[in-house]
Structure 1
Amino acid sequence: MPPLAGSRPRIGIVGSGIAGLRAAKAILKCKVDARIVLFGDEAHRTYNRPGLTKKRYPLSDALDMMIAEDVKVNGAENDALTWRLGTRVETADLRDRILHLSTGETFEYDGLVIASGVRPRTSVWGNGECGLHAHRTLRGLDDARYIHHRLQAGEKITIVGAGFVACELASLAKEYGCEVLMLEALRSGPFENILGERVSVALGRWLAQHDITFLTGDSARELLCDLQPSHPGPPSDGALFIEAIGSVPNVEWLHGNGLDLSDGVRVDEYMRVAPWANVFAAGDVACYPDPWTPGNLTRMEFWKNAIDTGDLAGRSLASSMGHGPVTSRIGYFPSMSTEVLGLRIQIAGNPRMSDAMEIVCGDLDQLDQGVLVAYLREGAMIGAAYMDKGARFNSAYIKLLKSLRER
Structure 2
Amino acid sequence: MTDGEPRIGIVGSGIAGLRAANAILKCKVDARIVIFGDETHRTYNRPGLTKKRYPVSDALEMTIAEDLKVNGAENNALTWRLGTKIETADLRNRVLRLSTGETFEYDRLVIAAGVRPRTSAEGNRECAFHTHRTLRDLGDAQYMHNQLQTSEKVTIVGAGFVACELASLAKDYGCEVLMLEALRCGPFESVLGKRISIALGRWVVQNGVTFLTGDSARELLCDRTVVSARDVSASEASNLESPSDRSLFVEAIGSVPNVEWLRGNGLDLSDGVRVDEHMRVSQCEDVFAAGDIARYPDPWMAGNHTRMEFWKNAIDTGDLAGRSLASSLGYDAKISQIGYFPSIATEVFGLRIQVAGNPKISDSMEIICGDLDQLDHGVLVAFLREGVTVGAAYMDKGARLNSTYIALLKSLKAR
Q: What is the TM-score of this pair, normalised by structure 1?
A: 0.97
Q: State which of 102, 115, 119 in structure 1 corresponds to 2:99.
A: 102
After the TM superposition, which residues 135-174 of structure 1 pair with which residues of structure 2 at under 5 Å, given as runs?
A: 135-174=132-171
Residue number in structure 1 paired with 2:366: 358
Residue number in structure 2 paired with 1:270: 278
Q: Pick closer, same or farther for the CA change 1:148–1:49 going to 2, 3 Å.
A: same
Q: State which of 12, 15, 27 in structure 2 corresponds to 1:15.
A: 12
Q: Pick closer, same or farther for the CA change 1:112–1:54 going to 2, 3 Å.
A: same
Q: State which of 40, 44, 56 in structure 1 corresponds to 2:37.
A: 40
**Mapped pair 1:132 → 2:118:** no
Residue number in structure 2 paired with 1:304: 312
Q: In angstroms, what is the RMSD of aligned CA positions?
A: 1.4
- The total of aligned residue pairs comes to 404
Residue number in structure 2 paired with 1:195: 192
Residue number in structure 1 paired with 2:174: 177
| Post-superposition offset of 1:62 | 3.2
**Mapped pair 1:24 → 2:32:** no
| Post-superposition offset of 1:155 | 2.6
**Mapped pair 1:383 → 2:391:** yes
Whether the 8 Å contact between 2:383 and 2:391 is mirrored in structure 1 is: yes
Whether the 8 Å contact between 1:267 and 1:274 is mirrored in structure 2 is: yes
Distance (whole Å) between structure 1 residues aligned to residue 165 and residue 76 of structure 2: 34
Deviations 1:263-317 (A, max 9, x none): 0000000000011111000000000001111111110001000000000000000
Distance (whole Å) between structure 1 residues aligned to residue 144 and residue 352 of structure 2: 24
Counterpart AA for 2:362: S
**Mapped pair 1:322 → 2:319:** no
Whether the 8 Å contact between 1:124 and 1:130 is mirrored in structure 2 is: no
Whether the 8 Å contact between 1:126 and 1:229 is mirrored in structure 2 is: no
Q: Pick closer, same or farther for the CA change 1:227–1:154 going to 2, 3 Å.
A: closer
Residue number in structure 1 paired with 2:321: 313
Distance (whole Å) between structure 1 residues aligned to residue 225 and residue 26 of structure 2: 50
Whether the 8 Å contact between 2:13 and 2:35 is mirrored in structure 1 is: yes
**Mapped pair 1:343 → 2:334:** no
Distance (whole Å) between structure 2 residues aligned to residue 129 and residue 193 of structure 1: 31
Q: State which of 286, 289, 294 in structure 2 corresponds to 1:286.
A: 294
Residue number in structure 2 paired with 1:261: 269
Counterpart AA for 1:21: L
| Post-superposition offset of 1:331 | 1.3
Secondary structure of the 1:292 match is coil
Residue number in structure 2 paired with 1:122: 119
Distance (whole Å) between structure 2 residues aligned to residue 229 and residue 301 of structure 1: 33
| Post-superposition offset of 1:63 | 2.4
Distance (whole Å) between structure 1 residues aligned to residue 35 and residue 155 of structure 2: 36
Q: State which of 29, 51, 60 in structure 1 corresponds to 2:48.
A: 51
Q: Relative to structure 2, which stretch is displaced further, 364-373 or 122-131?
A: 122-131
Q: Pick closer, same or farther for the CA change 1:403–1:227 going to 2, 3 Å.
A: farther
Secondary structure of the 1:134 match is strand
Q: Pick closer, same or farther for the CA change 1:139–1:392 going to 2, 3 Å.
A: same
Counterpart AA for 2:198: V
Q: Pick closer, same or farther for the CA change 1:164–1:128 going to 2, 3 Å.
A: farther
| Post-superposition offset of 1:326 | 6.0
Distance (whole Å) between structure 2 residues aligned to residue 251 and residue 190 of structure 1: 28
Identity of aligned residues (%): 76
Whether the 8 Å contact between 1:159 and 1:170 is mirrored in structure 2 is: yes
Distance (whole Å) between structure 1 residues aligned to residue 182 and residue 406 of structure 2: 35
**Mapped pair 1:87 → 2:95:** no
Deviations 1:37-67 (A, max 9, x none): 0000000000000000000112333322221
Residue number in structure 1 paired with 2:233: none
Counterpart AA for 1:341: F
Structure 1 gap ranges (5+): none
Secondary structure of the 1:319 match is helix
| Post-superposition offset of 1:226 | 4.6
Secondary structure of the 1:172 match is helix
Counterpart AA for 1:57: Y
Distance (whole Å) between structure 2 residues aligned to residue 320 and residue 64 of structure 1: 40
Whether the 8 Å contact between 1:127 and 1:230 is mirrored in structure 2 is: no
**Mapped pair 1:78 → 2:86:** no
Distance (whole Å) between structure 1 residues aligned to residue 343 and residue 120 of structure 2: 30
**Mapped pair 1:369 → 2:377:** yes
Q: Relative to structure 2, which stretch is displaced further, 224-233 or 9-18?
A: 224-233
Give every structure 1 segment of 4 or more consecutive aligned residues whose post-TM-superposition deviation is greater than 6 Å.
none
After the TM superposition, which residues 218-233 of structure 1 pair with which residues of structure 2 at under 5 Å, given as runs?
A: 218-226=215-223, 228=225, 231-233=228-230
Secondary structure of the 1:78 match is coil
Q: Pick closer, same or farther for the CA change 1:379–1:227 going to 2, 3 Å.
A: farther
Secondary structure of the 2:130 match is coil
Distance (whole Å) between structure 2 residues aligned to residue 178 and residue 228 of structure 1: 26
Q: What is the TM-score of this pair, normalised by structure 2?
A: 0.95
Residue number in structure 2 paired with 1:62: 59
Counterpart AA for 1:69: E
Deviations 1:365-390 (A, max 9, x none): 00011100000111111100000001
Distance (whole Å) between structure 1 residues aligned to residue 14 and residue 123 of structure 2: 26
Distance (whole Å) between structure 1 residues aligned to residue 152 and residue 140 of structure 2: 16
